[in-house]
Amino acid sequence: MKHYIAYLRVSTDKQGEQGHGISAQRNAIGSYMGAHGGELLEEYVEVESGKKNDRPALQKAISRCKMSRATLIIAKLDRLSRNLAFVANLMDAGIDFIACDNPYANKLTIHILAAIAEHEREMISRRTREALAAAKAKGVKLGGHRGAILTKGIQLQGLKERRARAKDYAADVYPTIRELLDSGHSLNATAQALNSRRILTARGFMWTAKSVSRILQTAEDC
């Protein structure tokens, strides 16, 4: 059976419409699952603020999809499809994704949007190169080790991002682990409980007492 994590959105400037909007999104998701089958594991509701890229509920939904190997499902793609931060999050996460209003075009849509984002990045890179060339033409010394410094900087940034993702994952699953331990579960029993809930480790494996212990150490060191 296919498993889903629902992601719903409301806007702070439409408080009066929130109840209706949420109901409509739930109905759309329910109708899709009724027609195609599957099990809804959990839903996350995003209350959008003025900061368009600030989507904590989306990050939690993506993390849960990774943990449970579930598919992220939303009611409508609409303006989310034009938000590059949203598209980047989905592409980087590597999770399955379904939009109820256009379920057969979602993969193509995501790739097209990714291509647009890549084009914008190339334009930024081109402008940067042109700026550097202009600076050099004016006699500005850029330094002989500039390339090596940039490469090292990129490598360090990648390491920081991987560590950050590991900490984020630990932070997401820690409350569940802590709750199980506080209720009297041993490390082994906690691992079994996580496995029974279809929550996987960061690398997609079944839980063991050792992996539970590692999460505890990572989360409590943060």
Give the Å distances, CA to CA, from 144 to 135, 149, 155, 156, 157. Answer: 15, 10, 19, 20, 22
Higher pLDDT, 218 or 107: 218
Residue type, 74: I
Return the percentage of the chain with pLDDT > 90, whole number: 30
Average pLDDT of span 80-109? 71
**Other CB atoms within 10 A of residue 87 CB:** 20
Closest among 130, 118, 97 to 4, alpha carbons compared: 97
Closest among 29, 80, 27 to 55, alpha carbons compared: 80
pLDDT of 127 higher than 70: yes
pLDDT of 104 higher than 50: yes
Q: Which helix (H) or strand (E) holds 170?
A: helix 146-182
pTM (2 d.p.): 0.53
Lowest mean per-residue pLDDT among 10-19, 103-112, 121-130, 182-191 = 10-19
pLDDT of 22 higher than 70: yes
Known active-site residue 31? no
Exactly one of 11, 68, 81, 213 is catalytic; name it.
11
Closest among 67, 68, 63, 86 to 76, alpha carbons compared: 86
pLDDT of 69 higher than 60: yes
Q: Can you say whether the dihedral through the CA atoms of 197, 46, 98, 61 is positive or negative?
A: negative
Return the percentage of the chain with pLDDT > 70, whole number: 68
Quote the CA–CA distance of 162 and 169 in Å, as a whole number: 11
The model's pLDDT over 194-221, given as tens digits with 9 standing for 90+, comes to 988 888 787 767 899 999 999 998 877 7
Give the pair of three-digit tokens for residue 40.
Answer: 């809804």
